[in-house]
Amino acid sequence: MKTIKGPAVFLAQFVGGEAPYNSLDGMCKWAADLGYKGVQLPTWESFLIDVDKAAESQQYCDDLKGKINSYGLEITELSTHLQGQLVAVNPAYDTMFDGFAPPELRNNPKARTEWAIKTVKNAGTASRRLGLKAHATFSGAFLWHTVYPWPQRPAGLVEMGFEELAKRWTPILNHFDENGVDVCYEIHPGEDLHDGISFERFLEATGNHKRVNMLYDPSHYVLQQMDYLAHIDDYHQFIKAFHVKDAEFNPTGKKGVYGGYADWIDRAGRFRSLGDGQVDFASIFSKLTQYGCDVWAVMEWECCIKSSEQGAKEGAPFIQKHIIEATETAFDDFAGGDVDKEMLKKILGL
């Protein structure tokens, strides 16, 4: 067993134009004052980290790490969710996802993809320079528009989609392997890796690449009506990153999983601040600890009702309360000892 590290916070949802949310020092002091011990850095926010520079300069990484450490914080992982999304984009989504790329690359899918792959690779190099062992990202998607197919998917479509997805990602995975860093795909609707079966398809398509791992976020399983506890039983060996995010699912006669195109607040499935939803975090922390998952518990705040300020304040103590100090001894160790075969025979009447 292993004690989960934390509490930590993903900074992406808190970035803003005013202090303390517009500078690295400001966000570090803010997080530390709230009781967080780690920060997950979104690499698309250049004021938090210049990922290209981090890939080139050990001195830059040492200075960045030193500054964050000076606030009593550690970097948990780097995140390339937006750039990872752009590694694989179906043309149906070109217009909407173009906003994730630099302006000069928009309306140029080929150049956008090349930039995304290069940037994710740079994040792998930067992770090594920062002493990190795991990286958070999205897989992107070629097939998502066929997830509930009408007309039916033609034979071979799914296989071709995962073959191409693996083709895009394998050079990236090899680069991360050279840097000793695991790639943790957030299992998430909208991505081709959105549940256990799709994760297994991708894993197989990459030749069971050892750097293919998971970012576990139970909120996305609640909204899909998946068994998020059994998922840990099935895939705990792949869980190398953890987003602590709450959610609820309240279907009616008018709305269910797909939400009727409603705004978040009116959907059956909604993200909530920690403790306000339906996720059984006590059981999640127990299972992750039992299986020895070496992860940071990173709060990702997304709530359609509560303010981000209140959510952030409540997040650190909520996570701290759920972290289990893994026992190093069994409660019945007093009955242990060396194997005495003669005694065992006597107990068994042999």
Q: Looking at this protein, which amino acid is placed at residue 80?
A: T
Residue 326: the pLDDT is: 93
Which of the pair, 249 or 328, is modelled with greater confidence? 249
Closest to 266 (Cα-Cα) out of 275, 255, 277: 255
What gap in Å lies between CA 121 and CA 126, rounded to an integer? 9
Residue 336: the pLDDT is: 64
Q: What is the pTM of this model?
A: 0.95
DSSP 234-288: HHGGGEEEEEE-EEEE---SS--TTGGG--GGGSSEEEE-TTSSS--HHHHHHHH
Domain hosting residue 282, numbered range: 5-348
Half-sphere exposure of 19 (CA within 13 A, CB side): 3
Q: Please report which confidence band the pLDDT of residue 267 belongs to, taking 50, 70 and 90 as the band edges.
A: very high
Half-sphere exposure of 259 (CA within 13 A, CB side): 15
Mean pLDDT of the chain: 96
Residue 347: the pLDDT is: 93
Q: What is the pLDDT of residues 8-18, one digit of tens each?
A: 999 999 999 99
What CATH number is given to the structural domain containing 200? 3.20.20.150
Residue 345: the pLDDT is: 94
Phi, psi values for residue 292, rounded to 5°: 70, 30
Total structural domains within the chain: 1
Q: What is the pLDDT of residues 187-246, one digit of tens each?
A: 999 999 999 999 999 999 999 999 999 999 999 999 999 999 999 999 999 999 999 999
Percentages (nearest 5) of helix, strand, coil residues in the chain: 45, 15, 40
β-strands 134-137, 269-272 pairing: unpaired
β-strands 5-10, 246-249 pairing: unpaired
Can you tell me the mean pLDDT for 53-61?
98
Residue 332: the pLDDT is: 63
Closest to 319 (Cα-Cα) out of 293, 297, 304: 297
What gap in Å lies between CA 315 and CA 296, rounded to an integer? 14
Can you tell me the mean pLDDT for 67-71?
98
Structural element, H or E, at residue 57: none
- pLDDT at 341 > cutoff 80: yes
Q: Please report which confidence band the pLDDT of residue 333 belongs to, taking 50, 70 and 90 as the band edges.
A: low
Asked if 115 and 102 touch (Cβ cutoff 8 Å), the reply is: yes
Residues 6+ apart with CB under 8 A from 208: none
